[in-house]
A and B are shown apart, each in its own frame.
Chain A
């Protein structure tokens, strides 16, 4: 700061961007970090970007790039991803995972489908025909875990010749006369 007779020093900021000395402190703050960069010395990524522009954390320099959350974050939200690792923090459309690239627990389908409604659908396993109370199902096919002699994606139907017992133990054989009975 020439006013105090000290010689001018270059700003500790990338590409020579300008800086200011905070009044009454020795602290130098960069004031116009390039796009995607922020922090006192532009050493951090701005919200919505991730990386390690000056290699301060893991040693290797990783330029700030926009977060990639498989189009499964809301553009109107803030803090969508972790600024150093890039982990997506606010997955929407019932997606989950580091990049919001899979369906969350209790849902199945293709998190990368283009139409939001077709991405992840609820397992909605039938209470009577499903083992356990959990709403988990195969993340791609949506197949729930059926009790004995039960069928259907959501374990909602009995195999031929069986009926759904109300006691929630799955389906039991009809012991009826094969000729006189209707399937």
Chain B
């Protein structure tokens, strides 16, 4: 299917993490509304890395590598709440399954991928082998798939499995460098990643594997999000959020705070289409 480039649902916006700040950038269509970007959460002393959004409860979820915790708070303010605060060393990737009400995260200190309910209960390890530098993780909730990156310099890879941890396999292992960012576009059903080694954004259709380059010549991409033909990534050399479409960089949001931006995620006004029609196991 040709990648449909219809604009994102009206009212979509972005959230990105930078040290102790989580900043919200509204979108007009797919255009960054930089002048109305504002800090939604300021977390004393935390280094926020992984960021995810639950479209059902309008809750922001994030990992803090300084406090070694996973936390959540409502998008419209309210006190943050810790959901996981044990057994974490370097929690960097986070994904929310809004249908199954589960949170998935990667930890490059324990080299594990774990899952728990959204309140942190029923926690279990999904994978604790074959991981060196796991980082980004995303889910395709309706189809029950999860995807993650491992920027192991000896053997970088992007893997997939069902959300219950079954049928794990390597999806991409060729021509990868430092796959730091990953996003699954529920509209075009493409999986895209940001690679600080090859300096590229690339996409693949998981169902049939055709892969293509989305943008080249990036400086130092870290995290990635996107939908319907537009991708937004954080860059460590530019300390900025950059927007792009196929083969073309569009805009840049330069936050006032001069520090590395980390995780970035999309806030949809309503949950993307699709509910359980393929429940595995």
Contact = CB atoms under 8 A, between A and B. Distances in A.
A31 B256 contact: yes
B42 interface: yes
Greatest chain B CB density within 10 A among A29, A38, A77, A90 is at: A38
A22 interface: yes
Interface stretch (A39-47, A97-105, A136-144, A153-161): A39-47
B24 to A, nearest CB: 12
A32 B254 CA distance: 11
Interface residues of B, number: 29
Contacts of B153: 74
Interface stretch (B4-12, B210-218, B245-253, B257-265): B257-265
Contacts, number: 74
Main DSSP-derived SS at the B contact region: loop
Contacts of B19: 38-39, 44, 46-47
Interface string B198-209: 000000000000
A36 B18 CA distance: 12
A61 interface: no
Nearest to B151: A76
Interface in A75-89: 76-79, 83
Contacts of A24: 77
Given A40-B44, A78-B90, A20 B258 contact: no
B178 interface: yes
A78 B77 contact: no
A79 B260 contact: no
Interface string B7-23: 00000000000111100
A114 interface: no
A33 B239 CA distance: 13
Contact of B196 (A27, A40, A44, A76): A76
Interface residues of A, number: 29
A38 B19 CA distance: 7
Contacts of B77: 23-24
Interface in A6-26: 17-18, 20, 22-24
A48 interface: yes
Given A24-B77, A44-B20, A78 B256 contact: no
B262 A78 contact: yes
Given A44-B45, A76-B151, A39 B258 contact: no
A35 interface: yes
A120 B260 CA distance: 31
A23 B24 CA distance: 14
Interface in B239-281: 256-260, 262
A120 B149 CA distance: 28
A69 to B, nearest CB: 15
Shortest beta-carbon contacts, A-B, top 3: A32-B256, A38-B19, A46-B259
